[in-house]
Amino acid sequence: MEIIDAIILGIIQGLTEFLPVSSSGHLELGKAILGDNSVPEESLMFTVVLHFATALSTMVVFRKDIFDILKGVFKFQWNDDLKFITKIVISMLPAVLVGVFFEDELEQLFGGNILLVGCMLLITAVLLFLADRAKDTNKSVSFTNAFVIGVSQAVAMLPGISRSGATISTSVLLGNDKTKAARFSFLMVVPLIFGKIAKDIIGGELSYESSNFTSLSIGFIAAFISGLFACTWMIALVKKSKLSYFAIYCVIVGLIAIGFALTNSINQ
């Protein structure tokens, strides 16, 4: 993989992991528009490295929260911190079940299905519009909310559905505080990413070639730095109810994707 490709893919992953525009959808659109020769297929190792980078950027941004939660957990009492961890575990269940039982079906959706991506981006836009107009509250995520938000995270495995957009919007529409919704959304994905990495390592699905070290390193740095920026920016935007800007963006890109897919279908 060329250095410039590693930088571009790293930035795309870092930004779109946190901004509500769908990282998977944008990568599919990029490959379709530029062609496989222009945007090389990411190896599993490269993909894992990029996700590891964004997981670390999340941990850096929320380092104080994570440290306080861990301190509370090690008190071995049924306190707010242990309750929060339990809610995170509950939120993971739907995505884990979908990943275990429908992994092959999901992979088939990532084969340049631009029409699907366009339609899912429109759904993301609707969620963002609704969430932007929700009233702000001081309510925290409940155990039931955690599971419902987890279902939205599982649905967001579809290309074009933004994970952060779906989970934050769902949480806000359930009446939760916007800042707390963003915090929960970003922290809930960290265990899933590390779990996926562990699964691939144990399953022997990762392969490493020393010749890829430079690309892996540069991609990691690009994803980590852009992830820090996007995560911090997204929290500020949610507080200020600026999700409608991303909704408009998703509508525009979604309609372009649908038009592109239909035109190609007609020409064929």
The residue range of the domain holding 85 is: 3-267
Number of domains in the chain: 1
Amino acid found at 258:
I
Which band of pLDDT confidence, cut at 50, 70 and 90, is reported for residue 145?
very high
How far does CA 221 lie from the centroid of its chain?
18
Give tens-digit pLDDT for 34-71.
Answer: 554 444 444 557 777 888 898 899 999 989 888 888 88
* pLDDT at position 9: 78
Q: What is the pLDDT of residue 224?
A: 93
Average pLDDT, rounded, for the chain? 82
What is the per-residue pLDDT for 32? 66
pTM of the model: 0.82
- Look at residue 214 and give its three-state secondary structure: helix
Of the listed ranges 6-15, 90-99, 160-169, the one predicted with least confidence: 6-15
Instruction: Select the highest-mean-pLDDT range: 152-156, 215-219, 264-268.
Output: 152-156
Burial of 215 (0-12, 13-18, 19+ CB in 10 A): buried
Residue of higher predicted confidence among 39 and 174 = 174
